[in-house]
Amino acid sequence: MTLVSPLQHVHKKGIFGDCEDNNAKNLIKISEVKNLLIFQIVQYKKSNISLKDIKIDELNLNNEAPKVTFNNETRILWISPNNWLLTSKKQELRANINQIFNETDFAITDLSHSRAVIELEGENTKEVLKKGCPFNFNELNKNTCINSVFNGITITIDMMDDSPNKVRLYVLRSFGESLYHSITDACLEFGYKNI
């Protein structure tokens, strides 16, 4: 069976927007992140288990907003109290997750096929996000994440790097194409490169 990615029909490689006078390095790079393992982890209110005892891919669950715990391949995003989004390129984690998280303490939901993931990279990334999102992006630091809205679409933003700015946007799969068009429209004035 062939995997159909959420943005397969809209994301075309090339250079677009106002890019004539722009150095190729200044263009915003847009890519779709595919084959990402995405799990929602929720700790039940009645659970007494200590989070220090739980490690997945050598990472702890951090209940401090809006921190991201991470290593090279896995990132655990704080979504809300006792609620995390685990993203990883390691597909083998899928088998471990149900062993690590006890059914009586955690609700685990596989969201890998129900999210579209767009990655933006470039100096003007925050300027693009400011166009549709009411959050003050001057306060968004490296390795933090937020939930917010972009042109009315609920999104999760993971700030992966700040030199240059690199963010991942997680959105419901069904809203993926709408968000993609909103983002690319907002990128036009800076010029962007789809990769």
Partner 1 sequence: MLHIKCPHCGLRSQNEFSYGGDATVKRPELNKEVSDQDWDNFVYLRKSPRGKHLELWQHISGCRQWIKVERDTLTHEIFTTLKANEEI
Which residues are at the interface with partner 1 (CB under 8 A)? 65-66, 79-81, 83, 134-136, 146-149, 154
What is the amino acid identity at position 62? N
CB-wise, 69 or 194, nearer to partner 1? 69
Q: Whole-number minimum distance, CB 145 to partner 1, in Å?
A: 10
Q: How far is the CB of 148 from partner 1 (least distance, A)?
A: 6
Environment class of 128 (CB within 10 Å of its CB; exposed 0-12, middle 13-18, buried 19+): buried
Residue 80 or 102: which CB sits closer to partner 1? 80
Which sign does the torsion angle of CA 120, 115, 137, 76 carry? negative
Query: Residues 66, 145: contact at Cβ < 8 Å?
Result: yes
Q: What is the β-pairing status of strands 28-32 and 192-194?
A: parallel
Nearer to partner 1 by Cβ, of 120 and 146: the residue is 146
Q: Least separation, in Å, of the C-beta of 134 and partner 1?
A: 3
